[in-house]
């Protein structure tokens, strides 16, 4: 039978998610917001959209005491929702590279206003994704760059202790490459192997590290300036060379992610545009993307730290030749980047996602390993993608993958591994395919010390055959 129009509208509203309460309208001006104006604007956006936003500060302040603030967009601010991916943008890591800072302020304003106006695409994005925007990781550097005229290529790059924050993260590439060399299979969450730091850790670095470790991010990007290109892992070269293409196990996926931004940017992938830098090279000839180490090797960078310490896939966005563009250019830069900013967030939904549970108790299993073999095109050897991700506290996981056929195995201590095949497709602006795992305990789930149940079963089969 036909349902009344009123009932249909109620169902549609329920599926779309609740509309937030509306606060006072927030005017937005394209300008260089100072540190106080930046924090004030985040609070204004929150007051405008209190039902879908939260403003929070990281655990540490900058060296000079400026809060490191983040605005979150979600239909359940402050809470992780089962199977919902977490995404982050971080800008202004180098204080004199400011475009990303202004883009994220405008993006926060845009998401709020478009959600309120009934934009179905934005509502769907916010309803399905928990989005974290951090306009400035280095407000002290921004202050110095601005006070000195914003024209020097290096002034303000570092924090207030003259430390480059993008060289200050633990060097997990060194550990990963050593594991490869010594045939050690440990290929993820490498912080437990860290044995030394190359320099004291800065408060801004520590704050972001705690953020990464406490939130199950799936995808992120950090924003820089000085060129126009999407840069993907690895950032550090495997051999120690200053410049050498250094593949990660997820090279194919990272290329897809970088292209997702560059090809939706107004000019980044244009092979005929002007280049940047002293040599004027145009990365548009490479579709606007580059492997980080192939460009130049970086140790202690945030991009590779995300990938090797957590489940988070991160790329680096160089947003333009001019590190500190004029205020009158900001609106044009927003138009250049808007589609790419939104499209890239949607990439948190590619591949597969699911929940790993105990088959008997139905309880979620955290820290289960998700291992993938790529069977696309009939792969017979070297099919393993040697970068496992893990399920989080609710048992949920997300594995970013490009279209293809995969064999996916979930395993956890005390359980028999389970393997399933998945044919991954790519549907724009849609959730990742769901693939849940139910793990059962082995027959001998409480072995005595030194007793291997699998070996015992094999011996028992051999004895039975002999008899």
DSSP secondary structure code for residue 276 in this structure: B
Q: Confirm if 133 and 32 have CB atoms less than 8 A apart.
A: no
Q: Confirm if 261 and 343 have CB atoms less than 8 A apart.
A: yes
pLDDT at residue 8, as a whole number: 39
**Residue 318 catalytic?**
yes
Q: 240: which residues sit within 8 A by CB, 6+ positions away?
A: 297
Helices 139-147 & 35-48 angle (0-180, nearest 10): 130
Return the ∠ at Cα 89 (arms to 247 and 304), rounded to 5°.
25
Return the ∠ at Cα 373 (arms to 368 and 379), rounded to 5°.
170
Q: 204: which residues sit within 8 A by CB, 6+ positions away?
A: 60, 62, 63, 68, 137, 138, 159, 165
Largest CA distance in the chain: 89
User: How far is residue 365's CA from residue 437's CA, in Å, rounded to a whole number?
Assistant: 10
User: How far is residue 156's CA from residue 182's CA, in Å, rounded to a whole number?
Assistant: 41
Q: 8: which residues sit within 8 A by CB, 6+ positions away?
A: none
User: In degrees to the nearest 10, what's the CA dihedral of 41, 42, 48, 50?
Assistant: -160
pLDDT at residue 7, as a whole number: 39
pLDDT at residue 280, as a whole number: 87
Dihedral of alpha carbons 172, 173, 175, 179, sign? positive
* Total-model pTM: 0.90
pLDDT at residue 22, as a whole number: 73
pLDDT at residue 192, as a whole number: 86
Dihedral of alpha carbons 65, 217, 201, 225, sign? negative
- The catalytic residue among 318, 331, 413, 443 is 318
* Chunked mean pLDDT (size 10), the chain, 467 residues: 41 45 83 98 97 98 98 97 97 98 98 97 98 98 94 90 97 92 86 85 97 97 97 96 96 98 98 88 96 96 97 98 96 98 98 97 97 88 92 97 97 96 95 97 53 49 49
pLDDT at residue 461, as a whole number: 54
Identify the three-state secondary structure at position 275: coil
List for the chain the helix, strand, coil content (%; round to 5).
Answer: 35, 20, 45
């Amino acid at each position: 039978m036909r349902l009344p129009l009123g009932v249909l509208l109620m169902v549609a509203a329920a599926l779309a998610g609740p509309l937030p309460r509306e606060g006072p309208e927030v005017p937005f001006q394209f300008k260089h917001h100072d540190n106080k104006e930046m924090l004030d604007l985040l609070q204004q956006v929150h007051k405008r959209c209190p039902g879908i936003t939260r403003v929070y500060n990281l655990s540490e302040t900058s060296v000079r005491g400026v809060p490191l603030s983040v605005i979150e967009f979600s239909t359940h601010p402050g809470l992780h929702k089962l199977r919902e991916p977490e995404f982050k943008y971080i800008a202004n890591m180098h204080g004199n590279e400011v475009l990303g800072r202004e883009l994220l302020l405008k993006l926060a304003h845009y998401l709020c206003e478009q959600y309120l106006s009934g934009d179905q695409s934005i509502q769907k994005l916010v309803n399905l994704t928990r989005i974290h925007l951090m306009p400035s990781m280095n407000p002290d550097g921004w202050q110095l760059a601005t006070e000195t005229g914003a024209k020097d290529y290096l002034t303000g790059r570092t924090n207030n202790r003259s430390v480059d924050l993008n060289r200050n993260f633990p060097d997990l590439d060194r550990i990963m490459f050593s594991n490869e060399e010594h045939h050690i299979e440990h290929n993820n969450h490498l912080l437990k192997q860290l044995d030394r730091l190359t320099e004291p850790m800065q408060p801004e670095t520590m704050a972001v590290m705690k953020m990464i470790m406490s939130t199950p991010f799936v995808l992120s990007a950090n924003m820089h300036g000085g060129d126009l290109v999407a840069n993907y892992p690895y950032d550090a070269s495997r051999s120690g060379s200053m410049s050498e293409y250094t593949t990660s196990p997820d090279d194919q996926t990272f290329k897809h992610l970088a292209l997702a931004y560059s090809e939706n940017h107004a000019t980044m992938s244009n092979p005929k545009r002007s280049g940047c830098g002293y040599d004027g090279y145009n990365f548009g000839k490479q579709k606007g993307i580059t492997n980080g180490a192939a460009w130049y090797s970086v140790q202690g960078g945030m991009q590779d730290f995300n990938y090797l310490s957590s489940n988070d896939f991160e790329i680096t966005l160089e947003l333009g030749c001019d590190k500190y563009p004029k205020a009158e250019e900001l609106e044009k830069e927003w138009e250049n980047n808007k589609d790419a900013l939104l499209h890239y967030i949607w990439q948190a939904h590619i591949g597969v996602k699911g929940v790993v549970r105990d088959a008997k108790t139905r309880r979620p299993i955290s820290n289960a390993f998700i291992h993938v073999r790529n069977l696309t095109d009939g792969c017979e050897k070297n099919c393993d993608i040697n970068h496992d991700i893990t399920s989080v506290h609710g048992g949920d996981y997300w594995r970013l993958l490009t279209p293809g056929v995969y064999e996916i195995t979930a395993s956890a201590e005390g359980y028999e591994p389970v393997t399933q095949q998945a044919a991954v497709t790519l549907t724009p602006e849609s959730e990742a395919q769901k693939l849940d795992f139910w793990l059962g305990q082995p027959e001998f789930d409480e072995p005595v010390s030194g007793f291997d149940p699998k070996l015992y079963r094999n011996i028992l089969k051999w004895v039975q055959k002999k008899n």
